[in-house]
Amino acid sequence: MSSDQSTPVPNHVALIMDGNGRWAKAQGKKRLQGHEQGVESVQACVKAALAHGVSYLTFYAFSEQNWNRPKLEILGLMSLLEKFIKEVSGRLDEEEIRLIVIGRRQKLPSAIQKELAKLEAKSAKNTKLVVQLALSYGSREEIIDAVKLMADKVAQGTLSSDEIDEETVSQHLYTREVPDPDLLIRTSGEMRLSNFLLWQLSYAELYVTETLWPDFREESFKAALEAFAKRSRRYGKVEED
């Protein structure tokens, strides 16, 4: 499958990256080593997306609920994030990738917030692929923030409650700059959304694989695209003969 074929390719792919801990345990390694291998899978998916003509990728990198993990693991994850930022800094312009960060980023370490803001500004004009990182992200929290923002506008008189429709809500979400996902990939066989893009995934195709995230590489991504291409997307309409 490649971008020059007539096979349908999802415009936006969202990924729930699950199984780092189980992979590490199976390998007799520390959990952080599983997360390190998971970073390699992120890079593999970016490479595959570029090769197959996907325009948007969203990675569920760190959830709002992940702050409840052991402090030592959180420190390790933040260290990995810093390393990732340094590694991709020079590649964004080379590969024409734009970076967007969504979530309650104010909870991240201040140094990381600053570096992410720099990368977002630096890559803002790149158009080949948009990579969206969900960090300190929760979908219910996102919807709450959107409701508060709209309520403030109604109180200020800049928005009427009668004007609020699906598009209005979408434009007040963290993801307002990107289209909704066409395909959701979840690794490790878990069958749940885990508070991820609940509004945006309303009409997405779901693809669940038993593959653990550290083992999910380019061929795995391609398999998900091939499965997507076989789906019939009707959006509630009746398929015509």
Residues annotated catalytic, as ranges:
18, 66
Please report the DSSP string for 147-198 in residue order: HHHHHHHHHHTSS-GGG--HHHHHTTSTTTTSPPPSEEEE-TT----TTSST
How buried is residue 167: exposed, middle or buried, by Cβ count under 10 Å (0-12/13-18/19+)? exposed
Strand partners, 59: 15, 133
Contact 61, 135 (CB under 8 A): yes
Residue type present at position 158: T
Q: Closest by alpha carbon to 50, among 106, 90, 98, 84?
A: 98
Residue 165 CA to residue 153 CA, distance in Å, equals: 14
